[in-house]
Structure 1
Amino acid sequence: MCTGGCAKCLGGTLIPLAVFGLLANILLFFPGGKVIDDNSHLSEEVWYFGGIAGSGVLMIFPALVFLGLKNNDCCGCCGNPSCGKRFAMFSSTLFALIGFVGAGYSFVVSAVSINKGPKCLLSNGTWEYPFHNGDYLNDQALWSKCVQPQDVVPWNLTLFSILLVIGLIQMVLCAIQVINGLLGTLCGDCQCCGCCGVR
């Protein structure tokens, strides 16, 4: 597959992942599917906007750049017909690195939150983080420590797990585009000007 076509495929995959990341992070503001009275009762990691900023907004720009690469004209520069396409592929590598950082941020925030567990109302009437070092992951009996919001543990666990997986997939796709972009920089794009001199 030509480097431009590969980039377009990656961009088309990143767009829905970014949308899912945005939605998952937004849903985290409604623990258990309910509106919470005091925002300070939300888990800290929800406010880090891992899915909104990292897997969402920072991923939209690379995805749009990748999608446009296949249709990028390569009129060339300085007498070199493949110069324009090569520069576009190089710039896509820089955007891929930005996307990788954003996805990595979302991944780390999600991993920390899963290990830490949600903030919830305990039976003694205080809002705290009752779990330690992911102990609740292997023992669902501990989930009963959280009185309110109802079902906050599976809610947070599910949504942060989704963000974790999305972040991991996005990191892999952006890493692939870094390699693809470097190949396109060195070889050009066979769709337009030939790959490594082959027309």
Structure 2
Amino acid sequence: MCSGGFAKCLGITLLPLAIICIICNIMLFFPGGEVLDNTNDITEEVFYFGGILGSGVLMIFPALVFLGMKNNDCCGCCGNESCGKRFAMFGSILFALAGAVGAGYSVIVSCVAINHGPKCFITDEQINATYPFGDGNYLSNRTLWDECKGPGDVITWHLTLFCILLVTGIVQIGLCAFQVINGLIGTICGDCCGCCSS
């Protein structure tokens, strides 16, 4: 497969992953699936926008660049037909690195959020949500989950969405790493399918 064709496949894969991350981060603004009156009751890590900015927006740009690699026809620079392709493949490495940084940010935020746990109401009369779990102990001791009275099933909601962000971010980092290798091959060797058909 051409290096440009492989990059396009990566772009096709990264685009829906970025959209999934954006949706997950937006859903985290509604803990337990409920709309809260006070934004202070929402877990802090949600406002770090790991899914919206990191694995979302910063991943959309590389995905779009990778999608266009197959059709890139910038040939003939400096009298060398493959020069344009090589330069495009080198540029894709920079975008892949930027995407990996964004996904890495999302992974770090997700890990911190999972360890920190969600904000929730400990009693039915409580006005402001607090962090009942500070050291990740709730992950190994499910009986502690009974301390949270709401909103909704906030712990499952929190864990599910941040775990999706975590796994998706790791996959995105892996795909960006593949593109760095693919881009290096394309830069050094050129596109195996050739740059110009004429």
Q: Deviations over 1:105-132 (max 9, x none)?
A: 0000000000110011112725211113
- Partner Cα separation in structure 1 for residue 152 and residue 161 of structure 2: 15
Alignment pair present for 1:127 and 2:129: yes
The answer to whether the 8 A contact 2:116-2:133 is kept is yes
- The residue that corresponds to 1:142 in the other structure is 144
* Distance in structure 2 (CA, Å) of the matches to 1:78 and 1:136: 62
Distance 2:75 2:177 in 1: 28
Q: Secondary structure at the match of 1:184?
A: helix
**Separation (CA, whole Å) in 1 of partners of 2:21 and 2:181:** 24
1:154, distance to aligned residue in structure 2 (A): 0.4
2:31 is equivalent to residue 17 of structure 1? no
Which residue of 161, 164, 175 maps to 1:162? 164
Segments of 5+ residues of structure 1 without an aligned counterpart are 195-199
Number of the residue aligned with 1:107? 107
Query: 1:92 and 2:88 equivalent?
Result: no
Q: Tell me, in whole angstroms, the C-alpha distance in 2 between the residues paired with 1:177 and 1:153.
A: 36
Q: Are the equivalent residues in 2 in contact too, given 1:76–1:85 (CA < 8 A)?
A: no
Find the residue that maps to 2:36 and give its secondary structure: coil
Distance in structure 2 (CA, Å) of the matches to 1:132 and 1:40: 17
> Which residue of 1 is the match for residue 40 of structure 2?
40
User: TM-score under structure 1 normalisation?
Assistant: 0.94
Instruction: State the distance in 2 between where 1:145 and 1:119 align.
Output: 11
Counterparts of 2:130 and 2:40, CA distance in 1:
11
Specify every segment of 5 or more residues in structure 2 that has no aligned partner in the other structure, as ranges: none
TM-score by length of 2: 0.95
Structure 1 residue matching 2:133: 3-state secondary structure: coil
Equivalence for 1:197: none
State how far apart, in whole Å, the 2-side matches of 1:6 and 1:163 are: 25
- SS of 2:150's equivalent? coil
Displacement of 1:168 after TM fit? Answer: 0.3
What amino acid is aligned across from residue 190 of structure 2 in structure 1?
A: G
Percentage of identical aligned residues: 65
1:56-76 CA-partner distances (Å, limit 9, x unpaired): 100000000000001000422
